Amino acid sequence: MLFSQQGKLAAKLFTVSASLVAALFSGLAQADYRLNFQDPVTGVARDIYDLHMLIFWICVAIFVGVFSVMFYSIFKHRKSKNYEPSTFSHSTSVEIIWTIIPFLILVGMAVPATKVLIKMEDTTKSDLTVKITGYQWKWGYEYMDGSDISFYSTLSTPRTQIDQFNRSTATEIGENYLLETDKAMIVPSGRKVRALITANDVIHAWWIPAFGTKKDAIPGYINELWFNVDEGAEGVYRGNCAELCGKDHAYMPIVVQVVTGVEFDKWVAGGGQFDAQGFAKIDTASTQEQFAGVISEEASEASPVEKSETPNQELEMAFAESVVEAVVPTASAADAAMSIEDLSQKGESIYGAHCAACHQVTGAGLPGIFPAITGSSVATGPINAHVKMILNGKPGTAMAAFRNQLNDEEVAAVITYQRNALGNSVGDSVQAADIAAQR
């Protein structure tokens, strides 16, 4: 009877183990399954990987050696062999050996580790400096080499993907769930980038695994790190805040887009403008060819005198004007009044990215912690007071100032949305020009 129960238990354990092994090694589980670091794309990341593998194999050798001796001793001196045990109490030779060998092993690991640490901390001779500031719960980037480019990078995963408990509004999780932002940090490949890391509120940590970089962002203190992405390794790299920083710690990803040096220089020359996908690239060659075709067509229709007076400068001027128009909105476009519907539509996405973490998607807030937008005296009261609250925040509370985080049109859009959605129906709106006047 006892044997039967043990047999049944063994059968159950075998079935469960077999199921787990099958799931682990199935094609589905293997799709995104890996046991090691991300593929390194910087020299430091490769050094870290090599150091990791060196210490790993040292640990494997120690494991094999120690357990081989242990199992041999157990087998050789088992009770059935009637082996006579030794009676010595200690051995000076053994004690010396097991002191010297670990010491040599530690030195063998410390030397290459020290070299890597020294290399990681060497931020001298950088080609580009970027100040990175952590906020609850977003990242701010400021390019420090005279380009006057700065922006905030916020989670862009829709709240309908995050709030899976609400089945009526939940949508399918995307490919880059919680690892996507509205704007990416843009850096060139083949150039040494120095990052100054700090924080505005609590401790955060900036971490890109493929770069081999991770550094705490501490309020009132500046840390440094650097990376130099290999030429030919251009692409998008993702990371996370790696320091528990509050309620939405999981919702402040890091996205870095690495481009060629030529593309980066064009981006800087264009004022660091972004398109809907996060990075606006101007294809110089194709644009020049396009305008060359237009000008040559116009020149072919012109009179001989006009043809002779069409210099190459016309091509250059047309191309320059196209670039300016691409990166600098015209005055009429910037000053054009937007309808309540258009402002609310744009404001909904801004609210989801900047406000919903505290005030919730529905505007109900968290009682006793974050006030509700629905029915609030600010969102339904005088619109000028609402504008001042968004621009300046509320000192002594978690309400941050968005004066430097959002542009005039974005502020106008989110205010209009809050006043005409989330259970509010004030019926008024504010324009970008009104926001500019109150800054």
Q: pLDDT band at residue 296, thresholds of 50, 70 and 90?
A: very low
Tokens for 95? 């004690």
Burial of 435 (0-12, 13-18, 19+ CB in 10 A): buried
65-99 tens-digit pLDDT: 999 999 998 888 888 888 887 777 788 888 999 89
69 and 94, same domain (yes or no): yes
395 and 432, same domain (yes or no): yes
- Lowest model confidence (mean pLDDT) among 12-16, 41-45, 190-194, 401-405: 12-16
Query: Backbone dihedral region of 148: left (phi > 0), alpha (psi from -120 to 50 degrees) or beta?
Result: left
Tell which of 88, 120, 152 closes a domain: 120
Are the C-beta atoms of residues 257 and 149 closer than 8 Å to each other? no
Average model confidence (pLDDT) across the chain: 81
Q: At what angle do helices 92-120 and 43-76 cross, to 10 degrees?
A: 160
Indicate whether 204 pLDDT > 90: yes
339 and 423, same domain (yes or no): yes
Tokens for 301? 């229709």
> For residue 260, is it within any domain?
yes
38 and 26, same domain (yes or no): no
323 and 359, same domain (yes or no): no
Indicate whether 360 pLDDT > 60: yes
> For residue 274, is it within any domain?
no
> For residue 388, is it within any domain?
yes
> For residue 278, is it within any domain?
no
Domains: count for the chain: 5
90 and 182, same domain (yes or no): no
Our measurement of the distance from residue 60's CA atom to the centroid of its chain's CA atoms, rounded to an integer in Å, reads 34
139 and 218, same domain (yes or no): yes
Q: What is the pLDDT of residue 320?
A: 44
201 and 247, same domain (yes or no): yes
Tell which of 72, 100, 120 closes a domain: 120
| Sequence-separated contacts (24+) of 420-426 with Cβ below 8 Å | 420/340, 420/344, 421/344, 421/347, 421/348, 421/363, 422/362, 422/363, 422/373, 422/374, 422/379, 423/362, 423/363, 423/374, 423/375, 424/363, 424/373, 424/374, 424/375, 424/379, 424/380, 426/379, 426/380, 426/383
For residue 225, which of 254, 261, 268, 265 has the smallest C-alpha distance?
A: 254
> For residue 277, is it within any domain?
no
Domain that holds residue 20: 1-32
Q: What is the pLDDT of residue 165?
A: 77
Q: What is the pLDDT of residue 9?
A: 57
SS3 214: strand
125-175 tens-digit pLDDT: 999 999 999 998 899 999 998 888 989 999 988 877 887 777 777 788 888
> For residue 43, is it within any domain?
yes
234 and 249, same domain (yes or no): yes
Rg, the chain, Cα only: 31
Q: What is the pLDDT of residue 306?
A: 40
Q: What is the pLDDT of residue 284?
A: 35
Q: 428: domain CATH number?
A: 1.10.760.10
364-400 tens-digit pLDDT: 888 888 899 999 999 898 999 898 999 888 888 888 8
Q: pLDDT band at residue 299, thresholds of 50, 70 and 90?
A: very low
Q: What is the mean pLDDT of residues 272-278?
A: 57
Tell which of 71, 94, 120 closes a domain: 120
> For residue 276, is it within any domain?
no
Q: pLDDT band at residue 26, thresholds of 50, 70 and 90?
A: very low
Q: pLDDT band at residue 240, thresholds of 50, 70 and 90?
A: very high
Q: What is the pLDDT of residue 125?
A: 93
Q: What is the pLDDT of residue 325?
A: 44
115 and 140, same domain (yes or no): no
253 and 222, same domain (yes or no): yes
223 and 239, same domain (yes or no): yes
Are the C-beta atoms of residues 172 and 161 closer than 8 Å to each other? yes
Q: 97: domain CATH number?
A: 1.10.287.90
Tokens for 16? 């469960």
> For residue 7, is it within any domain?
yes
Distance of alpha carbon 151 from alpha carbon 154, whole angstroms: 10
Q: pLDDT band at residue 301, thresholds of 50, 70 and 90?
A: very low
